[in-house]
Chain A
Amino acid sequence: MRKKVGLLVLFMFFSFMLFGATTGMSFGEPEYDDMDGYILENAQEETASNNVVTSVLLEYRSLDTLGEATVLITAILSVVVVLRRFAQ
């Protein structure tokens, strides 16, 4: 009984996702974005580097990289605590 209700809810969720995928937005034609337009124009003279993705990661959004390093260190420390061996 519970399995049938779960399957029905999953089917409704999947059909809603499919409806949104086909009629929501078209692939390959985004609207003009102010943030991305500014970054693509002015990244070369403000950071003096050719790679726009790296300059976004290390200059315009450097706090996100710091937060990601924090998450990585916390997860690795938790793995060290969980898998510790107390013998020998």
Chain B
Amino acid sequence: MNSFLLPAATLWQRELVRFWRQKSRVMGVVASPLVFWLFIGYGSNDLAKFYSGALVLTVMFSAIFSTITIIEDRREGFLLSMLVSPAPRTSMVLGKILGSATLGWIQGTIFLIFAPLAGIHIAPAQLLVVAAAIFLVSFTLTGLGFVMAWKMESTSGFHALMNLLLFPLWIVSGALFPMATAHGWIKAVMYVNPLTYSISLLNHALLMPDATPGALTSLAVTAAFGVGLLLASGIMAGRKSVRSSA
């Protein structure tokens, strides 16, 4: 057990230590969703409507920043020494994903400070529910980032994928317009978009009115998606051959 948990714990801790030493990352992750949110929210005179979307964007940016370090680790060689150690690959994947998910969770929680601006007031007990929901969303998005980053050779490829895949997914997730009023085939896309369920999960946790899909559905889909991505990451990293830039 020790040989499974210890590697996971040390990689989780490494993410936190690195993050703590580069505090400017918090600014980078929180600032742009905040600006988007304030512009769109004030412009349409409804800050509350876009709050969950901005929160998911914060978590998504954090997940992206964190998982990009997989590519850097490969380029810089740190990944190599992990991969030739006897630690189980699944334990390393778990440590990396939990570490990155924790960072997303911290930054998402920081974003809660701005909730009162939108007239959203969170009771102390409710805070636990909201924090748990943010963690689940962060875990899912980190898993998605991991699966994307694992095969990538360069960080620019990752940025391209982010612009082509993650941003569009976010736009049609209910972050900007609700599923109820969506038109035509976009509505169908929203149904199968896992981010839709992340947004509605947060809306439910924040007690926003008219959150769709339902709370249980949102929770189940988000959790299933997260676990699925974790398994996929484990399988990908468990493959025998190890590539390196060297």
A binds B: no
